[in-house]
Amino acid sequence: MARVCLIWVERPGLEGLDPAEVAKRAGLSLDPGGAIPAAVVTAPEWAAPPAVRSRLAGKPAQWLDLAGEVGGGPAEKRLARAAAAVARAAGRAALGTLPQVYTAQPAQTVLVAGAGLAAVAAARQAGLLGHPVILATPFGRAAQAGADDEAEEVSLLAAQLPAQVEVLAEAELRHLSGAAGDFTAELQTPQGAQLKRFGAVVLAPAGGYAPPELGLDPELAKPVADLPPEGLAGSPDKWLQAAVIAGVDAPATADAFARAVEAALALQARDFVQTTLLFSEARVASEGGERRYREARQAGVIAARVAAGGLEVAQGGRLLKWRDLLLDEEVQLRPDLLAVAGPVAAALPAFLANPVLWPAWPQLVPEGPRFSGGRTARSGLYIIGALRGTAPGRARRVEAAAAAADLHDRLTQGRATPVPSVRNTACASCLTCVRVCAHGVPRYGSDAIVCAPAACVACGMCAAECPAEAIAPPGWSNPELIAGLEAGLAKSAGTKAVLFACGQSGAQAFAELCRQGHEWPEGLLLYPVPCAGRVGMQLIMKALSSGAAGIMVAGCHDGNCRSVSGNLRARLRAGETAALLERLGLGPERVEFLHLASNQPRRLAQAVDRFVSTLG
Amino acid sequence: MISLNDCDPGFKFEVAAEPGGAGIKACFACAACSARCPVAGHREEYDPRRIIRLTLLGRREEVLSSPLIWLCSACYSCQEVCPQQVRFTEVLTAIKNLAAKAGYAPPSAKQIAGLLAGHGRLLAVTEFENEKRAELGLPAVEERGADYAAILGIAPEAAEAGEEA
Amino acid sequence: MTIISTPVLILGGGVAGVSAALELARRGVPSVLAEKGPRLGGRVRDFCCKATQACVHCGACRLGDLLAEAAARPEAAFRSLALAAEAQREGGVWQVELRPQPDEGEADPLAQPLAEKTTVNAQAVILAVGYEPFDPRRKTRFGYGRVPGVMTALELEAMLGQGVLVGHDGQPPESVAFIQCVGSRDESLGNLYCSRVCCGFALDMAGLIKEGWPETAVTFFHMDVQGYGPSWEEALPHMRQAIDFVRAMPGEVSAGENGPRVCFAGPDGQPRSREFGLVALSQGLTPPASAGALSEMFGLNRNQDGFLGEDAALAVSGAQGVFVAGTAQGPRGIVESIDHAALAAGAAMESLFRAGKEAAHG
Ligand SMILES: Cc1cc2nc3c(=O)[nH]c(=O)nc-3n(C[C@H](O)[C@H](O)[C@H](O)COP(=O)(O)OP(=O)(O)OC[C@H]3O[C@@H](n4cnc5c(N)ncnc54)[C@H](O)[C@@H]3O)c2cc1C
Ligand code: SF4
Ligand code: SF4
Ligand code: SF4
Ligand code: SF4
Ligand code: SF4
Ligand code: SF4
């Protein structure tokens, strides 16, 4: 707390209060002048003198409308109220002096909820990294595999679980909220329900195979994992006909195709059984997939390619018809045995259906390349295995290993995770930040916005969207950015244009161009931002009013934002600002958004040249 | 309409068991062979991949009785491009052997066999030939049809038939 | 002669190698990475972004993220122009001799060039030496190096990355053909595996061409289309409308009057030929050039397809304390290579723990 200073700005309503006494009671030191780490200011930002504002640029500061907090009444009461308000604000300001100060230490315990290879491997890896782990399994013991898992490998791994892993048997994860460092989970066990705090959560529910809807009679059609028993065999005069369906309406996944091929091989190996493998695409992109596919053909399996959606199923599968694409002829088959392959899947945990606490699946588990290795948009939450559609075997171990390292890194601050500072005195409790943060960092506590301690990625989207300028990750508040912007614009000459460049794309491409010795148009000011989503309307307008002729925002391509929608939000805000400029008659072409990837420096150079030349 | 239930699942194994036929089941229908086959370029119905396909499905009679299987010029182009080492030229020899065994040899092939069985070569040896040979100082030749008839398993009547044609 | 000691030595600085270093750093384990070339990033350096209206998840820009993170990780040290020449294991430690490679004057901002012969003592080694793109000259019939206008997919990647598209005559082509599975799924070459990435990159490049040069007709010669997740499956029907999908492997590519002539069988099985302005050969992934030397050096196994490491379930390789990451182990895409490195790093860390325990117990 000693790191926070009180900067006294005299305001109407503060008359008669002694700054030194307020500081003393609040446990702060009074502004010594010069450089300070963090401050509480007794005026709202707009009312503070420019000198104070510029001194605090880049610093965690709490702009406190102290007069409002103090009110009237006896001098002693006013003094007490002032000290209390300043102390509260100081606490928040101290949050901003990261990475040293955290509200709450991130919880270190890891919850792995699930079963099978993915769950056991994740629990093991997290345990080896030194985290206390609770492995909550729906089964009676950790070694029990999911329906689609390799039982042998699971029990082998379960036998090697480190001592840090506590197995909670017959447990169900009923409820989950929070983000990295601060999850709250409700676990139901035969002993009753318990609420626990966790630093990170790995969801790895056991799954099964989801055969496609083809109108097949379950009596006849079996999942490939569950072939009809041996014994049904044909004779030289009367071969039995078997069919294995591996993705006909929609092509199979590589894993489903591989399992179908194994099933076809097993059936074909029986005496006088002719197996036909039906598929729309041979999905051989798995390890050994092509080899096994060839072995199946060599064994006598008939590979029958069917146009997508071209399999006609009659009598519950007792009659199959399709057009042989090669012969261009109708083919029919009355199978005696029928097996169907589908992708792995698991039921969505019920708590994820809560739209207030959890975003929809595509926002929670985006498909983009930045959300691999079990990562989700929610910091500290990892979804691996069947629920993610990951095939059993190596792919699940990969996810488990990546998730364990990532959560360890987050919880042990290897990543210097920032915590946004919230000016609760300014906060309007509008919950905008709660809604825009893709990573689940801010949430509404009992009477204020609180931030999960190890979850923020400093994208700054909350800062861009907050109507009250009340929240920002350290270093990225509006005043700090604007101070930098004004200083930069004051220095640059010629036609002044600002390029706000996202750290995941634009700024990297910019740096690459600089390395290549690219010559930028005179007057261009690069302003790197952690995410394009940091660039809200206020910032754009501020840049324009500070002398910029045009603003370009370079963010990631649609579908590749680290914070899910920062790029789209920035594009939207740029569009809105352009529309506003048009209405004002100032020219909408002054504001532009550019989709970009870090490996597209040329695209950036061309776009900037074109943009600056149109500004004239 | 092809009913797989009425096809012969054993046929492909039979072809594979013939000398040269081993590769047939590896085919994954990539069509590289069809693209390169010069005969396919001239005869619309001819398509190596189609012959393989029918064989794999077990269309025994259709394949063996097809006149198409005898059209191959044995240029080995298909064999050279095949990524699965099907060796179609040799596979076709296997199929042709089965066809001949099943009595589906086309008239031309029967004729050739008959000629061989009758004369031991593709034309009859007459006085005229031997006279000409003598003029050139070459030794006379004699017909050794019986040996070939034995190898080809052809009865004397067939040999006669070949001679007539 | 310098001697460095490190818990883990990583060979190869492609996406898999750099990820292995980061994965170790996230676990708090320091490492030294030795890249034989001048720069980090491997093949992905030359890849273009294939986004059109939206990102198509090709993963190429993940390299930027990796290098940015690498710059901020003090645990990972990068050495360029460093080739492993010899290795021996003594007392649970690998002693690997690195030799400096000729400087090509292309410095990497993150990696320090190896100045002199250096011995690295490491408890574990991660091999992330990548793959060798199939040399299409081995498939003479596709005309690469002979027929003007026939190029490799890698060359097309680099060209598109420059925002350029020129065909056989130096002009933007009216038509482009992709030939798939060149060097993959091919028993006659001994490559009986699917390379897993080429359907993806080819169709993504096709999409890029259709966006940048809408008049250009694109034909896709293939056998099967592999899958790359839900949004890919959703996009496939749209791709089929914009691109001519021909399910046939061409028999031959020869020089035609107006560009390379591709002969292929039509749906009726009849040979036909068509000329294209440009033909791209989607070359597959083959084992790394150094697979033989490394497997000998470290005494490790190669799998059926010739890649490093035989165990299908783990990233382990058969040799003690040696782990394999990325395409060195088998064909996989960029993101999969990045993630695969987590498995190798996790296994390497475990081996360090085990060694530590054994040491503690005497
Ligand atoms: C034409 C083409 C297009 C592709 N497009 C895509 C795509 O769009 N999306 C996708 O996901 N994947 C794509 N891929 C696959 C992609 O290239 C790989 O997934 C990726 O490069 C694998 O990374 P890596 O680190 O394993 O190997 P590499 O990128 O090959 O890196 C290996 C590194 O190791 C170094 N090295 C080699 N030997 C040694 C040694 N002995 N000692 C030290 N260093 C050594 C090399 O110099 C290199 O830097 C494509 C592949 C090809 C051929
Ligand atoms: S967006 Fe701003 S005002 Fe709204 S709740 Fe968050 S911090 Fe408070
Ligand atoms: S900066 Fe980004 S990640 Fe951090 S709280 Fe704000 S919106 Fe969330
Ligand atoms: S060998 Fe026969 S089938 Fe093969 S390409 Fe030549 S003619 Fe056609
Ligand atoms: S080239 Fe070989 S694999 Fe392809 S269709 Fe012909 S025989 Fe079959
Ligand atoms: S993942 Fe690929 S397509 Fe998407 S932005 Fe990155 S480079 Fe472009
Ligand atoms: S990914 Fe596609 S092009 Fe590449 S080998 Fe597999 S099937 Fe062929």
Ordered by start, the domain boundaries in chain C are 2-131+287-360, 133-284
Phi, psi (5° rounding) for residue A414? -60, -30
Ligand 6 centroid to Cα of residue C318, in Å, is 35
Q: How far is C135 from chain A (nearest CA, A)?
A: 20
Q: How far apart are CA C19 and CA A248, in angstroms?
A: 37
Q: How far is C147 from chain A (nearest CA, A)?
A: 30
Contacts of residue A114, Cβ cutoff 8 Å, sequence gap at least 6: A136, A137, A202, A203, A204, A205, A206, A385
Ligand 6 centroid to Cα of residue A179, in Å, is 27
Q: Mean per-residue pLDDT for A415-430?
A: 82
The predicted structure's pLDDT at residue C120: 98
The predicted structure's pLDDT at residue A99: 34
- Selected residues 571-610 of chain A with any CB under 8 Å from a CB in chain C: 595, 597-600, 602-603, 606
Quick one: which H or E segment has residue C71? helix C62-71
Of B26, B31, B41, the CB nearest to C249: B31
Ligand 1 centroid to Cα of residue C44, in Å, is 6
* Residue B76 sits at the chain C interface (C-beta within 8 Å): no
Contact C79, C33 (CB under 8 A): yes
The predicted structure's pLDDT at residue A2: 44
Q: Which of A183-197, A439-453, C81-95 has the lowest average pLDDT?
A: A439-453
Kindly tell me the burial class for residue A343, based on how many C-beta atoms sit within 10 Å of its own C-beta (0-12, 13-18, 19 or more).
buried
Does the pLDDT of residue A450 top 50, yes or no? Answer: yes
Class of domain C133-284: alpha beta
Ligand 3 centroid to Cα of residue A180, in Å, is 12
Cis peptide before A601 (omega within 30 of 0): no
The predicted structure's pLDDT at residue A416: 59
Q: Which of A123-137, B2-16, B102-116 has the lowest average pLDDT?
A: B102-116
Does the pLDDT of residue A127 top 50, yes or no? Answer: yes
Q: Mean per-residue pLDDT for B59-66?
A: 96
The predicted structure's pLDDT at residue C314: 55
Q: How far is A384 from chain C (nearest CA, A)?
A: 13
Give the DSSP letter of residue A563.
T
Does the pLDDT of residue C36 top 50, yes or no? Answer: yes
Q: Mean per-residue pLDDT for A367-376?
A: 96
Answer with the residue of higher pLDDT: A215 or A98.
Answer: A215
Contacts of residue A192, Cβ cutoff 8 Å, sequence gap at least 6: none
Does the pLDDT of residue C311 top 70, yes or no? Answer: no
Residue type at A208?
G
The predicted structure's pLDDT at residue C313: 46
CATH 3.90.470.20 fits B4-101, yes or no: no
Does the pLDDT of residue A94 top 70, yes or no? Answer: no
Chains with at least 3 CB pairs less than 8 angstroms from chain A = B, C
C316: confidence class by pLDDT, cuts 50, 70, 90: low
Ligand 2 centroid to Cα of residue B58, in Å, is 72
- Are the Cβ atoms of A598 and C269 closer than 8 angstroms? no
A95: confidence class by pLDDT, cuts 50, 70, 90: low
Residue type at C105?
G
B61: confidence class by pLDDT, cuts 50, 70, 90: very high
CA-closest residue to ligand 5 atom 5:
B29
CA-closest residue to ligand 4 atom 2:
B72
CA-closest residue to ligand 2 atom 2:
A466
In C10-49, which positions are buried (b, 16+ CB within 10 angstroms) versus exposed (e)? bbbbbbbbbbbbbbbbbbebebbbbbbbbbbbbbbbebbb
Chain B: residue nearest A237 by CA? B8
- Are the Cβ atoms of C339 and A370 closer than 8 angstroms? no
The predicted structure's pLDDT at residue C170: 94
Does the pLDDT of residue A3 top 90, yes or no? Answer: no
Q: How far is C116 from chain A (nearest CA, A)?
A: 27
C49: confidence class by pLDDT, cuts 50, 70, 90: very high
The predicted structure's pLDDT at residue A187: 96
A97: confidence class by pLDDT, cuts 50, 70, 90: very low
Strands C76-80 and C112-113: parallel
Any idea which ligand is nearest the CA of A366?
6
Residue of C108, C199, C224 for testing the chain A interface, max A β-carbons within 10 Å: C224
Contact A549, A496 (CB under 8 A): yes
- Residues in chain B with CB shorter than 8 Å from the CB of C247 are 31
Does the pLDDT of residue C252 top 80, yes or no? Answer: yes
CATH 1.10.1060.10 intervals, chain B: 4-101
Q: Which of A506-510, B150-154, C294-298 has the lowest average pLDDT?
A: B150-154
- Residues in chain C with CB shorter than 8 Å from the CB of A597 are 49, 51, 55, 60-61, 64
Q: How far apart are CA C208 and CA C50, in angstroms?
A: 6
Tokens of C98: 């690195």
The predicted structure's pLDDT at residue B165: 43
Give Cα A112 distance to the centre of its chain.
Answer: 18
Give Cα A186 distance to the centre of its chain.
Answer: 22
Contacts of residue B6, Cβ cutoff 8 Å, sequence gap at least 6: none
Any idea which ligand is nearest the CA of C53?
6
Q: Mean per-residue pLDDT for A555-560?
A: 97
Q: How far apart are CA A108 and CA A132, in angstroms?
A: 7
Contacts of residue A584, Cβ cutoff 8 Å, sequence gap at least 6: none
Ligand 3 centroid to Cα of residue A327, in Å, is 59
- Are the Cβ atoms of B26 and C187 closer than 8 angstroms? yes
Of B4, B50, B84, the CB nearest to A276: B4
Quick one: which H or E segment has residue C259? strand C259-265
Ligand 4 centroid to Cα of residue B76, in Å, is 6
Question: Cβ(C19) to ligand 1 under 6 A?
Answer: no
Q: How far is A456 from chain C (nearest CA, A)?
A: 16
The predicted structure's pLDDT at residue A349: 94
Q: How far is B75 from chain A (nearest CA, A)?
A: 23
Over residues C140-160, the pLDDT tens digits come to 999 999 999 999 999 999 999
Contacts of residue C270, Cβ cutoff 8 Å, sequence gap at least 6: B34, B40, B41, B44, B47
The predicted structure's pLDDT at residue A401: 97
* Closest alpha carbon to A54 in A345, A482, A412: A482
Does the pLDDT of residue B157 top 70, yes or no? Answer: no
Does the pLDDT of residue C106 top 90, yes or no? Answer: no
Q: Which CATH number among 3.40.50.10300, 3.50.50.60, 3.40.50.450, 3.30.70.920 corresponds to the domain C2-131+287-360?
A: 3.50.50.60
Over residues A267-307, the pLDDT tens digits come to 999 999 999 999 999 999 999 999 999 999 999 999 999 99
Detail the DSSP E strand segments found in A31-108.
38-41, 61-63
Question: Cβ(A536) to ligand 3 under 6 A?
Answer: no
The predicted structure's pLDDT at residue B112: 84
Q: How far apart are CA A246 and CA A257, in angstroms?
A: 6
Q: Mean per-residue pLDDT for C44-60?
A: 95
- Are the Cβ atoms of C185 and B83 closer than 8 angstroms? yes
If interface means Cβ-Cβ distance under 8 Å, which residues of chain C face chain B? 141, 181, 185-189, 223, 247-252, 263-265, 268-271
In A134-145, which positions are buried (b, 16+ CB within 10 angstroms) versus exposed (e)? bbbbbbeebbbb
Quick one: which H or E segment has residue A337? strand A337-340
Of these ranges, A149-163, A237-251, A411-425, the one predicted with the greatest mean pLDDT is A237-251
Q: Identify the bridge partners of residue C127 per DSSP, sorted by sequence position.
A: C11, C324
Q: How far is A204 from chain C (nearest CA, A)?
A: 17
- Residues in chain C with CB shorter than 8 Å from the CB of A508 are 64, 68
Contact A416, A453 (CB under 8 A): no
What share of chain C has pLDDT > 90, as a percent? Answer: 88
Q: Identify the bridge partners of residue C126 per DSSP, sorted by sequence position.
A: C10, C323
Does the pLDDT of residue A57 top 90, yes or no? Answer: no
The CA-atom distances, in angstroms, between A110 and each of A330, A455, B79, C27, C195 are 57, 14, 59, 15, 37
A415: confidence class by pLDDT, cuts 50, 70, 90: low
Quick one: which H or E segment has residue A444? strand A442-444
Over residues A8-36, the pLDDT tens digits come to 999 888 988 999 999 999 888 888 887 78
Does the pLDDT of residue C357 top 90, yes or no? Answer: no
Q: Mean per-residue pLDDT for A581-598?
A: 95
A197: confidence class by pLDDT, cuts 50, 70, 90: very high
- Are the Cβ atoms of B4 and A327 closer than 8 angstroms? no
Ligand 4 centroid to Cα of residue B110, in Å, is 21
Question: Cβ(C59) to ligand 1 under 6 A?
Answer: yes
* Closest alpha carbon to B84 in C187, A294, A295: C187
Ligand 3 centroid to Cα of residue A460, in Å, is 5
Does the pLDDT of residue A101 top 50, yes or no? Answer: no
**Which of C181, C193, C224 maximizes ligand 7 atoms within 8 Å of its Cβ, making it the mutation to test the pocket?**
C181
- Are the Cβ atoms of B47 and C252 closer than 8 angstroms? no
Residue of B5, B50, B62, B87 for testing the chain A interface, max A β-carbons within 10 Å: B5
- Are the Cβ atoms of C251 and B32 closer than 8 angstroms? yes
Q: Mean per-residue pLDDT for A563-576?
A: 97
- Are the Cβ atoms of B56 and A302 closer than 8 angstroms? yes
- Are the Cβ atoms of B28 and A302 closer than 8 angstroms? no
Over residues C216-244, the pLDDT tens digits come to 999 999 999 999 999 999 999 999 999 99
Q: Which of A67-71, A382-386, C174-178 has the lowest average pLDDT?
A: A67-71
* Closest alpha carbon to A8 in A94, A91, A82, A80: A82
* Residue A210 sits at the chain C interface (C-beta within 8 Å): no
C310: confidence class by pLDDT, cuts 50, 70, 90: low
Q: Is the ipTM of this complex over 0.90?
A: yes
The predicted structure's pLDDT at residue A358: 94
Residue of C142, C247, C261, C270 for testing the chain B interface, max B β-carbons within 10 Å: C270
